[in-house]
Amino acid sequence: MKYSQTVLITGGSSGIGFELSKYFARDAYHLVWVAAYEEEITVAKQILLQSFPEIRIDSLAIDLSQSNAAQAVYQWTKQKQWTIDVLVNNAGFGTYGFLGDTSLEKEQAMIQLNVYTVYTLTHLFLKEMKSRNTGKILNISSNTALQPVPRMATYAATKAFVKHFSESIHEELKALKADVSITVVCPAATKNTKFQQSAAMQKVRTFEGLLCTTPEEVAKDAYKGLQKGKKTVLTGARLRNTHWLTKLIPNSIIQFFLRKELDQKTI
């Protein structure tokens, strides 16, 4: 099979990353997955190959919250002599709770993954894309980047970094007239992923709330936005259709509803 291009997806073996992989597989990309768990990668490969038996999937099992992980990933691609045409920074996790009640170590690891790893991989691969004057980057942020979020203060701050970082680079690339694009995606609370369990948010209302979405919807919107070279993608449809209201409603009211959304269910 002749592959069109190569895409590197962090967290490609589950959730949004796995659903995005289906779109890249459909368009005959060579898939390069970087994720934490070898067993998860193996199972996900088997599932994807059932639908796309001719696709090529290479993988590296590595904990991207470790300090030198991003550089290790970059060096691995260099050793394999792969040209990364598309970079998808999807891997990430969250924490839930009032600051001081949350684990310091877990939040430090989250900052490392959600901020430093995203920054480093973007920096390294963007430099190559600019030198070739071709390439695309897709960074997964969150709707928590759009406003302060009680009980998710650190997570929201990491995702705000991803949003502003990506949007700023988008403007830089426009100024350079480079044929390289960077798109940031801000999904609403996404059901049916490992995020909810990892963040200990199984009983939190937001995953059943008005704006919640699915990995399938996020992937569809994100892939479409990436191909169009959009700066920012809000996903899913209910978030896009109501986001304009936040510009009209006083912030105190928005925060009231956020607190309700992020409360735990009583039953």
| 174 assigned to some structural domain | yes
We report the CATH number of the domain holding residue 249 as: 3.40.50.720
Asked, for residue 267, whether it belongs to a domain, the answer is: no
Distance CA 127, CA 141 (A): 21
Cα distance between residue 22 and residue 6, in whole Å: 14
Whether 1 is covered by a domain: the verdict is no
State how far the Cα of 164 lies from the Cα of 167, in Å rounded to an integer: 5
Q: DSSP secondary-structure letter at 32?
A: E
Q: Looking at the domain assignment, is residue 195 inside a domain? A: yes
Backbone angles phi, psi at 232, to 5 degrees: -135, 140
- Let me know if residue 266 belongs to a domain: no
Rounded CA separation 84/78 (Å)? 10
> What domain range includes position 58?
6-261
Q: Which residues of 94-126 are buried (b: 16+ CB within 10 A; e: fewer)?
A: bbbbeeeebeeebbebbbbbbbbbbbbbbebbb
**How many domains are contained in the chain?**
1
Residues 92 and 140: beta-carbon distance below 8 Å: yes
- How would you classify the pairing of strands 135-140 and 86-89? parallel
Q: Report the distance separating Cα 38 and Cα 28, nearest Å.
A: 24
Per-residue pLDDT in tens (0 to 9) along the chain, 267 residues:
667 799 999 999 999 999 999 999 999 999 999 999 999 999 999 999 999 999 999 999 999 999 999 999 999 999 999 999 999 999 999 999 999 999 999 999 999 999 999 999 999 999 999 999 999 999 999 999 988 888 999 999 999 999 999 999 999 999 999 999 999 999 987 777 777 677 666 666 565 666 678 999 999 999 999 999 999 999 865 565 555 445 545 565 555 555 545 555 544
